[in-house]
Amino acid sequence: MHKSLFVSMIAMVLTMGFMGCEPGGDDSGRAESKAALSNSDLENRIKAKLDTEEQVKAANLSIIADAKIKEAILSGTVESEALRSKAVELAKSAHSGLTVNDLIDVKPREIARKDFTEDLAKFGSD
């Protein structure tokens, strides 16, 4: 009888000890809050990606990000559709699952009449 009571008490103590090691309701959000990305963190990640491409960096695009819904808005002006596409592609690569709303205007660089050549007319500035 004493032996079974002793074994039962040890089992109960061990069970209570293991239960105390499990994270409770208050602690479960701590890891998430540390890993959560702020809006400014997301904006900085996007800016860092955009800055890797010299022409995109020179465009100095505006970035507004909402990390909670994984969404960003890019706005500003670039000289070509290719630069616009590159900027959106780079922004999307800044964070997994990021949705990028493209409000970028494409406005080709103006060329003075004296600099305009026949080749430029045929092949463009690129």
Does 92 map to a domain? Answer: yes
**Is 86 part of any domain?**
yes
Query: Are the C-beta atoms of residues 64 and 93 closer than 8 Å to each other?
Result: no
Residue 17 in domain: no
Asked whether residue 11 is domain-assigned, the answer is: no
Residue 6 included in any domain:
no
* 16 has a pLDDT exceeding 70: no
Structural tokens at position 110: 């103006």
The pTM (predicted TM-score) of the whole model is: 0.63
d(CA 77, CA 102): 11
8 lies in some domain: no
84/24 Cα distance (integer angstroms): 48
Evaluate whether residue 62 is within a structural domain.
yes
Give the C-alpha separation, 108 to 125, whole Å: 9
Give the domain extent around 68: 36-123
pLDDT of residue 116: 75
What pLDDT shows up at residue 110? 82
The CATH code of the domain that includes 107 is: 3.30.300
Structural domains in the chain (count): 1
Residue 85 inside a domain? The answer is yes
Q: For 60-112, what is each residue's pLDDT tens digit?
A: 999 999 999 999 999 999 999 999 999 999 999 999 999 999 999 999 888 77
- What pLDDT shows up at residue 32? 44
CA angle 36, 52, 79 (to 5 degrees): 115
